[in-house]
Structures are given as structure tokens and as C-alpha cells.
């Protein structure tokens, strides 16, 4: 199977990030775009709003509360699944199913012009992967066209973001090493 045909699904987290921003801004989710989920589908994932827009304006400008965006927003997105399970004693299966549909639709039909989504793909490494190690399955901002995905290039990464992106990459590298050890032991 070609590496580019293997993806994973941070889309549920991506949709949750869009929803949290929309709720805080008091707008429909359709007015929010280009949030990013970097890294793992775990509590180390990094929900990033630094390049996102609300009604065409930067999210940080519209929300006007960096303390919220750097704190409560991040932890809410990271822990939303666990909070739903704790409250309902059930998973958010319908949200997950909807996210699968969104993921496949964007991958096959394409992302709208000027819009990206978050997709876990096998990192090509180097600058084209924001310094994330080659071969690591990692969530990046991507655009899709004609059934092909492409990592969004050239986004400036601040020091805080770099640190959070690297933390989730370390966790994924540890998980990859454990999986490789188990496979080798079989």
C-alpha cells in the first residue's frame, strides 16, 4: 500500500476545535476555518488557532483572549472525548462517524479553495513536514484535491507552537517504537 494512501483521523478533534471557536465567537461553525490539530489523537495533541479565521479575520483577533486560546481552548479540545464519555457513559459515536464522512469527503472531493483540514499522514520529514521526523504518522494541516492530500506549506511556527508540536511528536515516536518492538517479537 502506498504511504500516501494511509491516513488517520484527527478530524473529530479538528471539528471540535472549529466548534469551540465558533461558540466563543458567537458564529456558525461554517464561518470558522483553518484551525489545525498537530500530532497525536491524545491529550498531547496541539489544537492551533494561529492561522485560523473567523469570517475572514484572524481567530486571535476575533476572540481577543489569548489566555483562553492558549489554555482552556486547548485543554477542552484535547479532553472533549473523555468529557463526553464521563458525562454520557457512552462514546460520541455519531460525532466520530460524522468525522469519518468529513475526512473521506475532503480527501476524495477536495477541500474548498483557501481552506485546509487536519489529517494524520506519514511524515515525509524535513522542512516540508515542519521538522517532524520522516515516517512518523502525525496530524498536519492539509489540502486535498483529486483524491490526493498535500501538507500546507510555509506556515510560520512560533516558539510555543514548536514546543507543543515537538511534545506530541515525541509521544508518537515512543508509540511507534513500542509498536515496532511488539511486531519484531511476533
> Which residues are marked as active site?
41
Q: Which of 41, 178, 179, 29 is nearest to 115 (CA)?
A: 29
Give which of 147, 165, 145, 169 is closest to 157, Cα–Cα.
165
Cell numbers given for 162: 514548536
Q: Judging by DSSP bridges, how do beta strands 57-58 and 117-122 pair with one another? A: unpaired
DSSP codes, 16-35: HHHHHHHHHHTS-GGGEE--
Amino acid at each position: 500500500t502506498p504511504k500516501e494512501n494511509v491516513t488517520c483521523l484527527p478530524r473529530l478533534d479538528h471539528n471540535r476545535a472549529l466548534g469551540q471557536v465558533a461558540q466563543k465567537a458567537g458564529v456558525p461553525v461554517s464561518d470558522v476555518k483553518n484551525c489545525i490539530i498537530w500530532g497525536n489523537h491524545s491529550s498531547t495533541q496541539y489544537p492551533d488557532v494561529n492561522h485560523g479565521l473567523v469570517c475572514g479575520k484572524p481567530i486571535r483577533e476575533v476572540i481577543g483572549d489569548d489566555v483562553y486560546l492558549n489554555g482552556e481552548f486547548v485543554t477542552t479540545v484535547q479532553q472533549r472525548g473523555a468529557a463526553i464519555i464521563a458525562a454520557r457513559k457512552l462514546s460520541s459515536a455519531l460525532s466520530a462517524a460524522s468525522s469519518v464522512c468529513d475526512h473521506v469527503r475532503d480527501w476524495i472531493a477536495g477541500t474548498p479553495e483557501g481552506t485546509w483540514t487536519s489529517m494524520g499522514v506519514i511524515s515525509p520529514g524535513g522542512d516540508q513536514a515542519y521538522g517532524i521526523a520522516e515516517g512518523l504518522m502525525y496530524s498536519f494541516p492539509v489540502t486535498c484535491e483529486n483524491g490526493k492530500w498535500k501538507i500546507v506549506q510555509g506556515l510560520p511556527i512560533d516558539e510555543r507552537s514548536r514546543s507543543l508540536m515537538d511534545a506530541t511528536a515525541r509521544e508518537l515516536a515512543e508509540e511507534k517504537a513500542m509498536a515496532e518492538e511488539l511486531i519484531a517479537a511476533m
